[in-house]
Structure 1
């Protein structure tokens, strides 16, 4: 019923598995390696057709400097910061309270509300493109940082509430009962009992939501026009020329756009792993 541990496999199967891992890793990393190498390649080499060979002349400083100066990349970066941080903080705050209510309280419609959160995560985003765009136009939120914050806040809250509700459900209910007997009100129970216990889950969720919002391109393209509210994912497209595309600059801009989410993951890697394994074992 469960997969057999690798240590108990036959020797030939175990050896084939170990040999296939580097091959699979190389195939998975090949696009990223190609982008990194292209970001330090000179325009002359690209014009000559040297796409996959090792760069003859490294243009690391020139490419990244030009990527930052030929387009308002810093403006796009600041837009992404303004969009991502409030959306992540707001979604986690609302989801923590919603998850607490769904996990602890028994009220009419609890299961239906939880099923709504679950079902909302299975709706294809392409189906919502036209209605969301029309709604943003009617509310005057189109092409604004506030509109993107509100959109990501509303869409990420459902996933976060589903995520946190399952974690809070695994907590011993006796702790909450004991706090209530001692005279603690519901806000005290939430802030002093529940939140400290689900801190690893909150950290893991913050990394996931930060990555989702920061790397979003589809909705940023649908809900913005021009440079006023465009995040950095849309700003990378501004590095394309009218007639030709400088792929070295596009690759350099892509690396710059990916750095914050990668840095955040490595900075909070321990919390991320702890949050994903939280509640996996008992005893």
Structure 2
């Protein structure tokens, strides 16, 4: 008997992806990181330049320029900016406007978002489109109608020392609520749609009403989204300058963004002093972001891995 010896040519199989050279991937990753670092530096550079200028005397920057090595650094401009601009009073005015505006905006927006996303509401999609379309309206278009309207709406004496809604905190609060609700409704409605429907169905079986489903079930689950929106809304209302300038004529009621005008001279403006005031004005928004950073990031990333 003769053995039938068969010889087969070796089969060349492609190496797995993990065993392939990864040099191009590493170069691509380094390129992305360098690009993101450059973009981040471009956004942070004005703030860093403002901080650097606020620590230098004006005579030093006038002689050597802003991009030069400083002779000495000090925090004198910060103390001067705080005292000369009356920043403490203006900051209290800002809290009087921003805190109620943010709370009422989120509360009303959560109501509308729950009705649109979780209830079988007839015309819910049209209502959501109506709120979203409000963000497309330029604010400057309705300045004159609102000015006339606020001068005609009376207020009781215990709500404001002015006879009408004009020249009161309520005017700025109402306008901010009206313009910020569209964005909040859009975000919260989309967030509520990602919540499991089985939770509300189980609550209905247990006899929970609409208010219980909203207040005790849906709203606690929306805490990350509410925290993220609270951070954004407080920043936007805090930085508002247009509405307060139009609807408030009493200098004692203006928000903190108006305090920087007190640092501008009639014939000369110290840019370093103005930079110190700008940094002081920006500190509360940075503090709010740092305190709510965990909830803010969770609200942005939650649901990104679903589906």
TM over 0.5: yes
Q: Cα distance, 1:105 vs. partner?
A: 1.8
In 1, distance between residues paired with 2:77 and 2:36? Answer: 34
Q: Cα distance, 1:103 vs. partner?
A: 0.9
Q: Cα distance, 1:25 vs. partner?
A: 3.0
| Structure 1 pair 175–18 and aligned structure 2 pair: CA distance change class (3 A) | closer
Is 1:235 the counterpart of 2:259? The answer is: yes
| Structure 1 pair 112–22 and aligned structure 2 pair: CA distance change class (3 A) | closer
Q: Cα distance, 1:164 vs. partner?
A: 0.7
Aligned equivalent of 2:138: 124
Q: Cα distance, 1:125 vs. partner?
A: 2.1
In 2, distance between residues paired with 1:227 and 1:95? Answer: 32
Aligned equivalent of 1:4: none
Pick the structure with greater CA Rg: 2
Please, what TM-score do these two structures have when normalized by structure 1? 0.90
Asked whether the equivalents of residues 115 and 121 of structure 2 are also in contact (C-alpha less than 8 Å), the reply is: no
- State the Cα RMSD in Å: 2.0
In 1, distance between residues paired with 2:25 and 2:81? Answer: 52
Q: Secondary structure at the match of 1:70?
A: helix
| Structure 1 pair 55–142 and aligned structure 2 pair: CA distance change class (3 A) | farther
In 1, distance between residues paired with 2:24 and 2:258? Answer: 48
In 2, distance between residues paired with 1:126 and 1:253? Answer: 27
In 2, distance between residues paired with 1:9 and 1:162? Answer: 41
Asked whether the equivalents of residues 143 and 228 of structure 1 are also in contact (C-alpha less than 8 Å), the reply is: no
Count of aligned residue pairs for this structure pair: 276
Which residues in structure 2 correspond to 1:131-146 (within 5 Å)?
Answer: 131-139=145-153, 140-146=164-170
Please, what TM-score do these two structures have when normalized by structure 2? 0.83
Is 1:23 the counterpart of 2:38? The answer is: yes
Asked whether the equivalents of residues 192 and 218 of structure 2 are also in contact (C-alpha less than 8 Å), the reply is: yes
Question: Gaps (5+ residues) in structure 1?
Answer: 1-6
